[in-house]
């Protein structure tokens, strides 16, 4: 039960507010002037303070200032018969969340009080939640403790309590499916199915039957009735990955399912009710696609009720060491390798890399490096990264010298070997073109290939 302090020197107004708000289920305490109210604030914590502007001894603006010093977590609504822009600005500067005139509409005022207390509850819940996880390096299967990821965790926790459709956006490899799983696992549907389908990975001719099922004999090879993924997910969650790839004709049918919660199997005539929460994901700009006419605008707004954006890895570099350690331990165990650490130099290179493939690319890099490593420490030459150009290379060699030292000749040879390999790959095997890319002669390239045993 929210606790509200009403401060007004007008006895009739105090009584009116007390009766009205008590009927709404709030715990009401009243004070007839500011100093009395401040003493009450010292003894009790109030969720909301509703105060008059003009009062004897201490006016409303000064009272708000002092009350917020005593109880900064209390929200304040100012009531005044003398509303003006200056009054509003002064009240907001001292910490009031809103102000109303004394001839307010009763129902609107009740709604204002309700919304204000709901905001306070959400903020407090968020603060407690973030405090609980700020020292952790993951949330469920999602790894990271950057500010960007803490915001994502907070959103997951909020939307998990609802049944509202969610659209997860972000570049490929950022972990959109993990977000969808976390929403499901933190919801009341967690004991029901979580069903995933990649809308871009199934031919259009098969996608409808995968989503909605089919009846025996409806097409060649349909030897028996088969439920679709919406039926399989009944009571739970369906995750539509790469929703931007969904053909227009199926967009229409998906919109109908969202509106009616009814599906019909291919070749069937019976309507089937489904209770499914829809979470979608895309790496495309669906709003732009809607403007271009390649994605239905009405479907976009139905799916994008609550948006969650996954930041690219380059925007949360502080998570790279945590993710690297996780993948390093995972693949050291998988390959039964006795490797005790990533070299400092290797970590430095990873921190300077752009990661166009995001977390998925980082995992692939670490898996490969652990698989190929023959020593007891992962060295930088086994970090195969896709877009290291001359400018990036210059940054890569600007590193903190490792405590364990390094063999200059060996490391220069490894760097040279990697650059030559990448040039030949980029040149599609042409040594002439590779030599041009490396700005050396073909004879020089041939000599280096022999020297480095890259024939």
| pLDDT one-digit tens code per residue, 227-282 | 999 999 999 999 999 999 999 999 999 999 999 999 999 999 899 999 999 999 99
pLDDT of residue 130: 58
Can you say how many angstroms the Cα of residue 196 is from the centroid of all Cα atoms in its chain? 18
CB–CB of 355/317 below 8 Å? no
Query: CA–CA separation, 326 vs 145, rounded Å?
Result: 13
Please state whether beta strands 166-169 and 306-309 pair in parallel, antiparallel, or not at all (unpaired).
parallel
Quick one: pLDDT band at residue 52, thresholds 50, 70, 90? Answer: confident
CATH (residue range 139-311): 3.40.50.300
CA atoms within 13 A on the CB side of 189: 25
- Rounded percentage of the chain residues whose pLDDT exceeds 70: 90
Q: Do domains 316-385 and 407-455 have the same CATH topology?
A: no
Q: pLDDT band for 88, please (50, 70, 90 cuts).
A: low
State whether the Cα torsion 204-205-206-210 is positive or negative: positive
Q: Determine the CATH number of domain 3-118.
A: 3.40.50.2300
- Which sequence spans correspond to the domains of the chain? 3-118, 139-311, 316-385, 407-455
Rounded CA-CA distance 269/228 in Å is 15
Domain 407-455: homologous superfamily in CATH? Homeodomain-like (1.10.10.60)
Gap between the Cα atoms of 88 and 90, Å rounded: 6
User: Which range among 118-122, 168-172, 195-199 shows the weakest confidence by mean pLDDT?
Assistant: 118-122
Q: Which CATH class is domain 316-385?
A: mainly alpha
Whether the model pTM is above 0.75:
no
> What is the average pLDDT value for the chain, to the nearest integer?
85
How far apart are alpha carbons 185 and 277 in whole angstroms?
13
pLDDT of residue 394: 46
The single-letter DSSP state of residue 382 is: G
């Amino acid at each position: 039960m929210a606790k509200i302090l009403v401060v007004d020197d007008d006895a009739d107004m105090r009584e009116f507010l007390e009766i009205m708000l008590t009927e709404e289920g709030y715990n009401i305490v009243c004070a007839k002037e500011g100093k009395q109210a401040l003493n009450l604030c010292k003894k009790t914590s109030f969720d909301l303070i509703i105060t008059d502007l003009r009062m004897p001894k201490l006016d409303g603006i000064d009272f708000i200032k002092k009350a917020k010093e005593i109880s900064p977590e209390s929200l304040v609504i100012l009531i005044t018969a003398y509303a003006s822009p200056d009054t509003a600005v002064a009240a907001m500067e001292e910490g009031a969340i809103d102000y109303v005139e004394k001839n307010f509409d009763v129902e609107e005022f009740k709604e204002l009080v309700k919304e204000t207390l709901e905001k306070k509850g959400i903020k407090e819940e968020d603060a407690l939640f973030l405090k609980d996880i700020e020292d952790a390096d993951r949330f469920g299967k999602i790894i990271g403790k950057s500010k960007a990821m803490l915001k994502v965790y907070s959103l997951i926790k909020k939307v998990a309590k609802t049944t509202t459709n969610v659209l997860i956006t972000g570049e490929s490899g950022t972990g959109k499916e993990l977000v969808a799983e976390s929403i499901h696992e933190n919801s009341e549907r967690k004991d029901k199915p979580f069903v995933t389908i990649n809308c871009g990975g199934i031919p259009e001719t098969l996608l409808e039957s995968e989503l909605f099922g089919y009846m025996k004999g409806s097409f060649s090879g349909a030897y028996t009735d088969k439920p679709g993924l919406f039926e399989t997910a009944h009571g739970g969650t369906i995750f539509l990955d790469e929703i931007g790839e969904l053909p227009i004709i199926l967009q229409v049918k998906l919109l109908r399912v969202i509106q009616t919660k009814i599906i019909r199997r291919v070749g069937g005539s019976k309507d089937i009710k489904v209770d499914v929460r829809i979470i979608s994901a895309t790496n495309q700009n669906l709003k732009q696609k809607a403007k271009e006419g390649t994605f239905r605008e009405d479907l976009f707004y139905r799916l994008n009720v609550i948006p969650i954006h996954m930041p690219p890895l380059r925007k949360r570099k502080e998570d790279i060491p945590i993710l690297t350690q996780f993948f390093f331990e995972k693949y050291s165990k998988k390959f039964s390798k006795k490797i005790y650490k990533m070299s400092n130099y290797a970590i430095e290179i990873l921190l300077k890399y752009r990661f166009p493939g995001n977390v998925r690319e980082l995992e692939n890099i670490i898996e490969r490096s652990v698989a190929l490593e023959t020593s007891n420490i992962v060295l930088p030459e086994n970090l195969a990264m896709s877009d290291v150009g001359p400018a990036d290379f210059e940054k890569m060699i600007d590193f903190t010298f490792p405590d364990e030292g390094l063999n200059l000749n060996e490391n220069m040879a490894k760097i040279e070997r990697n650059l030559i390999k990448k040039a030949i790959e980029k040149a599609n095997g042409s040594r002439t073109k590779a030599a041009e890319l490396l700005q050396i002669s073909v004879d020089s390239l041939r000599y280096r290939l022999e020297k480095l045993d890259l024939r």
